Amino acid sequence: MQDPRLLELRRRLPQLRLLTDPADLAYYGQDWTRRWTPAPLAVALPIDIAEVQGVVCWANEQHVAIVPSGGRTGLSGGAVAANGELVLSLTRMQRVLEFDPIDRLLRVQPGLTLEAAQTAAREHGLIYPVDLGSRGSCSIGGNIATNAGGLHVIRHGNTRSWIAGLKVVTGAGELLDLNRGLVKDASGYDLRQLMIGSEGTLGVVVEALLQLTAPLPASQVMLLGLPGVDALMQVFDLFRARVSLQAFEFFSDRGLQHVLANGARRALDGEHAYYVVVEFDAALAAERQAGEEAFGLAQQQGWVDDGVVAQSAAQAAALWRLREGITEALAPRGPYKTDVSVRIGALPEFVREVQALLRDGFPQLEVVWFGHIGDGNLHINLLPPESMGSEAFGNLRGEVTSLLAAALSRHGGSISAEHGIGLVKREYLSSSRSGAEIALMRGIRASFDPNGVLNPGKLFTAD
Ligand code: MLT
Ligand code: ZN
* Residue 56 in domain: yes
Give the atom of ligand 1 at the shortest distance from the alpha carbon of 323: 3
Side chain identity at residue 69, one-letter code: S
Q: How do the pLDDT tens digits run along the chain, 463 residues long?
A: 689 999 999 999 999 999 999 999 999 999 999 899 999 999 999 999 999 999 999 999 999 999 999 999 999 999 999 999 999 999 999 999 999 999 999 999 999 999 999 999 999 999 999 999 999 999 999 999 999 999 999 999 999 999 999 999 999 999 999 999 999 999 999 999 999 999 999 999 999 999 999 999 999 999 999 999 999 999 999 999 999 999 999 999 999 999 999 999 999 999 999 999 999 999 999 999 999 999 999 999 999 999 999 999 999 999 999 999 999 999 999 999 999 999 999 999 999 999 999 999 999 999 999 999 999 999 999 999 999 998 999 999 999 999 999 999 999 999 999 999 999 999 999 999 999 999 999 999 999 999 999 999 999 997 5
Query: Is any ligand 1 atom within 6 A of the Cβ of residue 458?
Result: no
* CA 158/CA 162 separation, integer angstroms: 8
Q: What is the chain's length?
A: 463
The answer for residues whose C-beta is within 8 angstroms of residue 412's C-beta and 6 or more apart is 342, 343, 346
Side chain identity at residue 138, one-letter code: C
Residue nearest to atom 5 of ligand 1 (CA): 150
Query: Is any ligand 1 atom within 6 A of the Cβ of residue 377?
Result: no
* CA 95/CA 116 separation, integer angstroms: 9
Domain encompassing residue 45: 4-91
* CA 46/CA 56 separation, integer angstroms: 11
pTM to 2 decimals? 0.96
Question: How many domains does the chain divide into?
Answer: 4
* CA 403/CA 283 separation, integer angstroms: 45
Residue nearest to atom 2 of ligand 1 (CA): 371
Give the atom of ligand 1 at the shortest distance from the alpha carbon of 379: 8
CATH code of the domain in which 151 resides: 3.30.465.10
CATH code of the domain in which 31 resides: 3.30.43.10
CATH code of the domain in which 402 resides: 3.30.70.2740
Give the atom of ligand 1 at the shortest distance from the alpha carbon of 371: 2
Q: How far is CA 384 from the centre of its chain?
A: 23
132 and 204: one domain?
Answer: yes
How far CA 298 is from CA of 43, 127, 292, 403, 417, in Å, comes to 54, 32, 10, 34, 29
Domain finish residue from 328, 347, 369: 328
Residue nearest to atom 9 of ligand 1 (CA): 327
Q: Which residues pair with 88 in a beta bridge?
A: 44, 68
* Residue 345 in domain: yes
Residue nearest to atom 7 of ligand 1 (CA): 327
134 and 152: one domain?
Answer: yes
DSSP string, 340-393: EE--GGGHHHHHHHHHHHHHHH-TTSEEEEEEEGGGTEEEEEEE--TT--HHHH
Helix (H) or strand (E) holding 7: helix 4-12
* CA 347/CA 9 separation, integer angstroms: 51
Contact 458, 421 (CB under 8 A): yes
Give the atom of ligand 1 at the shortest distance from the alpha carbon of 150: 2
DSSP string, 302-338: TS-SEEEE--SHHHHHHHHHHHHTHHHHHGGG--EE-
* CA 233/CA 357 separation, integer angstroms: 21
Query: Is any ligand 1 atom within 6 A of the Cβ of residue 133?
Result: yes
* Residue 39 in domain: yes
Q: Which residues pair with 383 in a beta bridge?
A: 366
Measure 171 CA to ligand 2 centroid, in angstroms: 29
